[in-house]
């Protein structure tokens, strides 16, 4: 069940160091796909310590019950759970039941393995006859001697306690396939991973050269070279970095999730490790090559050695290592034989696109050998965010901002920080001076790029900044994030959450300082991005974050100078003694808000004192203080007529309104809309519908100005002639008019136009 032949060995899953275990335990929390995959790796690590076999068994048992996993992964978990139980000496009927189920599974991946495990289980129970019958079933009716095969199994049974080799090695080819295709959905990633490995190799050599100058020539350029062979469908990536010995080839490439870079850092002590900034620390990135390659050859010669070795695998769970005859230059060469349908990766422009997207800021030059044999440099190699803040010139900022934002103007503000606390990261963020074209796209996409040690990870799949700061452009680069890990796990990472919170605080602090120091300039920012920033007040968050957003919000006030913006703190400082409430009105702009029917009562007043605002209310259901008004001069008969007409209007409008009331605030307008108590504000509801976060439209309260001549005429018409087509059309027109004033869409523009035409036609007939 586990074989070795010469240099050919099966992949073995080995344990990790203490830091690796902590990372795995953290990544395994939660219910995402990435967390489940981390649990597989965690269980593998537990098995390394024989005392933790029971814990590993429990993890596999848990994974076998997760419905969100694929059938293959659930069967793998079930199979390994049973095997570990058997290794602990268990032989109960529940194990037999699980193995029987796996063995009888249609198209089951572990069908034959489950049957062999059943044989071993029966041998442990001393039921040799049953074991022989199962083995005969495995071998088929033509088998001459199933007993001889059982003897082989008995030999394996003696070493059954060595679970790592016996069982994990047997199925690791399938595990490799599952891991690769679960971690990576974008095939372009494989080139990023190989280039990152090459960059690490150059970094290691450069670091070791400081103490051993015999490893390379002084002044020698460390580089990465890509070449293609279309006839052989081969893509080659070569570096002249540190290289690998035979043992390192086996340890680094022959063990899934074993990171040579991580071990290199662990070997460095104290301050030595701080100056060595390497990329790959998780150890599975290399295997992404099997997404596009049918065969992978790695030729390497370690610095300081004269003998090179060749590692070769087709990703089926087995690899070979052999000595390379002749002279071999220092470094590593990865030769990928691509699948027939992956020839696009041999195209010059495809390679250039991948390199500039993901590896443009790698610290070593990346060259592509063109068809005429010349070398063309693909990457810029300059990551300006890694420079000290004072060392980046204004022209560099301008050029970089325009390259990542695709905005022609200069940035309004630059936020460049390096955080060296518990979480290490660098942020270089820009606030544009104009609105990006996609600012109000329904997806609310954030455009800050996430890097890990200068290698691009993602822009769309991880919310490294909140959506209400989506106007920001720039990069966040952290060395505390794993380069090779699923997007689901990355999204749920506590490191990401800490970076997000820290960056948000820095941005809001910078905006507050700018607002205080340069109000005129801040007004330009607020006019561009104020509506987006205020979205944060509507999102679930703690009080501290909400207060931070409020501190940078600005508003127009009816008692301010024309065009002046004030903060909430400014308004509160000007409140009159005894004022208990702050009344507000939302609108598209200041002019439309000041002309809104909602504040018509003060339309003749140029400036309104805040102390007078207590008279204001949107509707009777708002639960706010009601202003006292003079009683209407209408007699009881008029009130009866009004109530009857309102009843008729409700009949006509039906579910379009939740209620119809006589307004106490309209003076010149005929109608307006209000919302029921505790309902969403009209503008907020409309915004949520536009962002596809709300699928329904709430009902409205229609308020009437019964003193308006039009409504007085309608009351007379209804009293004298009762229901009619004219009155029905007018009721619909009144409601549509109220919707238009509030910026709402009418139910049917065609019906609105037809009703207007009918009413106008009736006037001309007279």
- Within 8 A by CB and 6+ apart from 670, the residues are 704, 705, 708, 710, 711, 734, 737
CA dist 461 → 272, 281, 492, 538, 619 (Å): 35, 21, 11, 22, 44
**Model's pTM, two decimal places?**
0.56
Task: Judge whether 577 lies within some domain.
Answer: no
Query: Which of 332, 350, 377 represents a domain boundary (last residue)?
Result: 377
Is-contact 284 359, C-beta < 8 A?
A: no
Round to whole Å and give the CA distance between 632 and 639: 10
- Position 590 scores a pLDDT of 72
Q: Is the pLDDT of residue 749 over 60?
A: yes
Residues 402 and 456 in one domain: yes
- What letter would DSSP give residue 539? S
Q: How many separate domains does the chain show?
A: 4
Both 361 and 401 in one domain: the answer is: no
Which pair of structure tokens corresponds to residue 357?
């997207």
Structure confidence at residue 618 as a pLDDT band (50, 70, 90): very low
More confident call, 451 vs 378: 378
Q: Are residues 191 and 322 in the same domain?
A: yes
Burial 9-32 (b: 16+ CB within 10 A, else e): bbbbbbbbeeebbebbebbbebeb
Pairing mode, strands 455-458 and 473-478? unpaired
Quick check: 608 pLDDT over 90?
no
pLDDT at 156: 36
In this predicted structure, what is the pLDDT of residue 492? 62
pLDDT of residue 76: 83
Name which of 375-389, 606-620, 653-667 the model is least confident about.
606-620
Identify the burial level of 570 via C-beta atoms within 10 angstroms of its C-beta, where 0-12 means exposed, 13-18 middle and 19 or more buried. Answer: middle
Mean pLDDT, range 200-220, rounded to an integer? 88
- Where is 227: in which H helix or E strand? strand 224-229
Structure confidence at residue 222 (pLDDT): 94
User: In this structure, are 200 and 249 located in the same domain?
Assistant: yes
Tell me whether residue 110 is in a domain: yes
| The predicted structure's pLDDT at residue 235 | 96
Give 213's DSSP letter: T
Cα angle at 283 between 281 and 287, to 5 degrees?
A: 140
Domain assignment of residue 617, yes or no: no
In a domain, 540, yes or no: no
Which tens digit of pLDDT belongs to each residue from 407-454?
Answer: 888 899 999 999 887 888 999 999 999 988 888 776 778 889 888 888
Mean pLDDT of the 194-204 span = 90
The pLDDT value recorded for residue 238 is: 96
pLDDT of residue 25: 64
pLDDT at 185: 67
Task: Please indicate, yes or no, whether residues 347 and 396 belong to a single structural domain of this protein.
Answer: no
pLDDT of residue 234: 96
The pLDDT of 531-557, averaged and rounded, is: 83
The answer to whether residue 628 sits within a structural domain is no
Phi, psi angle pair for 526, to nearest 5°: -65, -40
pLDDT at 111: 76
β-strands 473-478, 447-452 pairing: parallel
**Which tops the pLDDT comparison, 9 or 299?**
299
CATH number at residue 125: 1.25.40.10
Q: Is 158 contained in some domain?
A: no
Stretch (H or E) spanning 273: helix 271-274
pLDDT digits (tens, 9 = 90+) for 454-483: 878 777 667 888 989 999 999 999 888 765
Last residue of a domain, which of 505, 530, 555?
530
- Cα gap 684→584, rounded to integer Å: 14
* 358 and 405 both lie in a single domain: no
Report pLDDT digits (tens) over 697-714.
Answer: 777 889 898 888 998 888
Most confident by average pLDDT, 164-173, 219-228, 667-676, 736-745: 219-228
* Domain span including residue 493: 384-530
Does 509 have pLDDT greater than 90?
yes
First to last CA, the chain: 101
Tokens at 685, concatenated? 């509801």
pLDDT at 394 over 80: yes
Q: In this predicted structure, which of 20-24, 70-74, 391-395, 558-562 has the lowest mean pLDDT?
A: 20-24
Residue 48 has pLDDT above 80, yes or no: no
- The residue among 14 and 254 whose pLDDT is bigger is 254
Asked whether residue 310 falls in the same domain as residue 339, the answer is yes
Q: Are residues 423 and 490 in the same domain?
A: yes
Sign (positive or negative) of CA dihedral 60, 65, 68, 70:
positive
Looking at 342, 377, 412, which one is the last position of a domain? 377
What pLDDT is attached to residue 257? 43
Helix (H, G, I), strand (E, B) or coil at 702: strand
The CATH number for 236's domain is 3.30.565.10
Instruction: Give the integer Cα–Cα distance in Å for 86 and 649.
Output: 78
Residue 356 lies in a domain: yes
Cβ atoms 434, 529 nearer than 8 A: no
127 CB contacts (<8 Å, ≥6 apart)?
none
The proportion of the chain whose per-residue pLDDT surpasses 90, expressed as a percent, equals: 23
For the stretch 646-689, pLDDT in tens is 999 999 998 888 899 888 888 888 898 888 877 777 777 777 77
pLDDT at 685: 79
Does residue 393 share a domain with residue 297? no
Task: State the CATH number of the domain containing residue 659.
Answer: 1.20.120.790
pLDDT band at 24 (very low <50, low <70, confident <90, very high): low
554 domain-assigned: no
Are 260 and 407 part of one and the same domain? no
The radius of gyration computed from the CA coordinates of the chain, to the nearest angstrom, equals 36
**Domain holding 414: CATH number?**
3.30.230.80
The residue that leads in pLDDT, 469 or 89, is 469
Which pLDDT value is given to residue 741? 85
The reported pLDDT for the residue numbered 630 is 42
Residues 349 and 404 in one domain: no
In the predicted model, what is the mean pLDDT of the chain?
A: 77
**Mind listing the pLDDT tens digit for each residue in 146-187?**
444 444 444 333 333 332 232 223 344 555 555 555 556 688
Evaluate whether 434 touches 528 at the Cβ level (below 8 Å). Answer: yes
Residue, of 633 and 324, whose pLDDT is higher: 324
113-127, 221-235, 337-351, 365-379: least confident range: 113-127
Note whether 191 and 339 are same-domain residues. Answer: yes
């Amino acid at each position: 069940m586990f074989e070795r032949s010469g240099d050919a060995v099966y992949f073995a899953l080995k344990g990790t160091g203490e830091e690796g275990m902590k990372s795995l335990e953290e990544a395994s929390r939660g219910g995402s796909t990435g967390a489940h995959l981390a649990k597989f790796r965690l269980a593998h690590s537990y098995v390394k310590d024989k005392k933790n076999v029971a814990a590993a068994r429990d993890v596999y048992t848990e994974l076998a019950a997760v419905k969100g996993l694929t059938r293959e992964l659930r069967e793998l978990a079930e199979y390994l759970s049973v095997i570990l139980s058997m290794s602990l000496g268990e032989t109960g009927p529940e194990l037999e039941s699980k193995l029987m189920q796996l063995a009888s599974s249609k198209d089951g991946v572990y069908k034959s393995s489950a049957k062999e495990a059943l044989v071993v289980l029966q041998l442990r129970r001393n039921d040799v006859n049953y074991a022989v019958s199962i083995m005969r079933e495995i071998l088929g009716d033509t088998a001459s001697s199933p007993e001889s095969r059982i003897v082989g199994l008995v030999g394996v049974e003696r070493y059954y306690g060595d679970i790592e080799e016996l069982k994990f090695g047997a199925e690791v080819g399938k595990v490799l396939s599952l891991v690769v295709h679960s971690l990576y959905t974008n095939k372009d990633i494989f080139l990023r991973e190989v280039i990152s490995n090459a960059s690490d190799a150059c970094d290691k050599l450069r670091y070791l050269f400081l103490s051993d100058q015999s490893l390379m020539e002084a002044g020698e350029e460390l580089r990465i070279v890509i070449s293609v062979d279309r006839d052989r469908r081969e893509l080659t990536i070569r570096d002249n970095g540190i290289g690998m010995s035979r043992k390192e080839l086996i340890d680094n490439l022959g063990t899934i999730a074993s990171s040579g870079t991580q071990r290199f850092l662990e070997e460095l002590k104290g301050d030595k490790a701080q100056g060595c900034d390497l990329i790959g620390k998780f150890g599975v990135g290399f295997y992404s090559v099997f997404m596009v390659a049918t065969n992978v050859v790695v030729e390497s010669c370690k610095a300081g050695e004269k003998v090179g070795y060749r590692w070769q695998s087709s990703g089926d769970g087995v690899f070979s290592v052999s000595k390379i005859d002749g002279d071999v230059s220092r470094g590593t060469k990865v030769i990928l034989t691509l699948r027939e349908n992956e020839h696009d990766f041999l195209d010059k422009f495809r390679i250039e696109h991948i390199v500039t997207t993901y590896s443009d800021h790698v610290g070593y030059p990346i060259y592509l050998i063109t068809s005429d044999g010349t070398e063309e440099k693909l990457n810029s190699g300059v990551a300006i965010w890694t420079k000290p803040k004072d060392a980046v010139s204004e022209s560099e900022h301008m050029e970089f901002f325009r390259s990542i934002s695709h905005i022609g103007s200069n940035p309004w503000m630059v936020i460049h920080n390096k955080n060296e606390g518990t979480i290490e990261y660098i942020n270089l963020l820009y606030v544009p001076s104009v609105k990006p074209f996609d600012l109000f796209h329904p997806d609310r996409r954030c455009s800050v790029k996430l890097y890990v040690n200068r290698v691009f990870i993602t822009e769309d799949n991880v919310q490294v900044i909140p959506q209400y700061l989506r106007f920001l452009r720039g990069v966040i680069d952290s060395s505390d994030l794993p380069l090779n890990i699923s997007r689901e796990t990355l999204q749920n990472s506590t490191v990401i959450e800490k970076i997000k919170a820290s960056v948000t605080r820095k941005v809001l602090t910078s905006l507050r300082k700018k607002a205080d120091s340069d109000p005129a300039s801040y007004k330009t920012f607020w006019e561009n991005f104020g509506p987006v920033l205020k979205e944060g007040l509507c999102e679930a968050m703690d009080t501290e974050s909400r207060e931070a957003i409020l501190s940078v919000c600005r508003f127009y006030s009816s008692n301010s100078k024309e065009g002046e913006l004030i903060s909430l703190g400014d308004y509160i400082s000007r409140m009159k003694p005894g004022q208990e409430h702050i009344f507000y009105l939302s609108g598209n702009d200041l002019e439309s808000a000041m002309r809104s029917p909602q504040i018509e009562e003060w339309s003749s007043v140029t400036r309104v004192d805040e102390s007078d605002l207590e008279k204001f209310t949107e509707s009777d259901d708002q639960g706010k203080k009601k202003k006292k008004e003079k009683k209407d001069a209408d007699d009881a008969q008029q009130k009866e007529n009004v109530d009857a007409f309102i009843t008729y209007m409700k009949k006509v409008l039906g579910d379009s309104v939740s209620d119809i009331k006589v307004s106490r605030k309209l003076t010149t307008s005929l109608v307006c809309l209000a919302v029921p108590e505790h309902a969403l504000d009209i503008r907020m509801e409309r915004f949520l519908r536009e962002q596809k976060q709300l699928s329904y439209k709430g009902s409205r309260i229609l308020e009437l100005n019964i003193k308006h001549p039009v409504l007085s005429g309608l009351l007379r018409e209804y009293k004298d002639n009762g229901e009619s087509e004219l009155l029905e059309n007018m009721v619909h027109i009144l409601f549509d008019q109220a919707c238009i004033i509030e910026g709402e869409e009418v139910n049917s523009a065609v019906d609105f136009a037809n009703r207007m035409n009918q009413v106008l036609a009736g006037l001309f007939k007279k």
